[in-house]
Amino acid sequence: MAKRTSREPIIIETREISTSWWGKAWCDHIDYYADFDNRLPRGRTYVRKGAVIDLKIEEGVINALVKGSRPTPYKVNISIKPLTKKEISAFEDKCKNNFETIEDFLQGKFPDAFKEYFTSDTLNLFPKLNEMRFNCSCPDWATLCKHVAAVLYGIGRKLDDDPMLLLRLRGIDTNSFSEKIVNREAEKLALSSKVKLPKGRTMSIKEASSLFGVDFYEDK
């Protein structure tokens, strides 16, 4: 018998769907989908009233359950095109060159330096419409129905708690990415303060968090 997985509902407890700057940036990005301006307000209403009863994010895909007018919740699937290897490499290089401190990153937060990656025309972590495919089990004929819209806004709330989900969604290995960033910062620290680093291997997130004196982010 298949093991049941626990549901991950979207719960909105404030006036804003999302409270972090990166979560708000995601919701603002969804607002720009002008072709669906008649569906988006209904999606916001749905997510606010707790209709998204399950939302899971994996590499390149979102699966969700949304309560509608029928007893059985609707199944929503959103597939998102991952970044290319070249785009991921460019993103990692920019991050390594822009981080002045590591505390926010080790605590699973996006520093302000990330903001340009949500607005850049050349390297944008937020997917464009033509990079996404929507599917909902509801009878609505629309490409983007209110249930899909509710899930899209629910992602913004989800990112409040775990911003690294955005990287995973775009095909970035968050553990590998984390180690590359913290090792780059550790190298800088070693050069400036003559701290001895582990030889012959990269530093783990736990070792880095101890070195920098902050709690580390654990991939969820």
Helices (H), 21-112: 21-31, 40-48, 85-98, 103-106
Contact criterion met (CB below 8 Å) for 65 and 147: no
pLDDT for 180: 74
Residue 211 belongs to what H/E stretch?
A: helix 205-212
Higher pLDDT, 71 or 178: 71
Q: Calculate mean pLDDT across residues 174-199.
A: 67
Calpha distance 148→133 (Å, rounded) = 10
Helices (H), 32-127: 40-48, 85-98, 103-106
Calpha distance 7→9 (Å, rounded) = 6
Q: What is the mean pLDDT of the chain?
A: 81
Q: Calculate mean pLDDT across residues 35-56.
A: 90
pLDDT for 1: 47
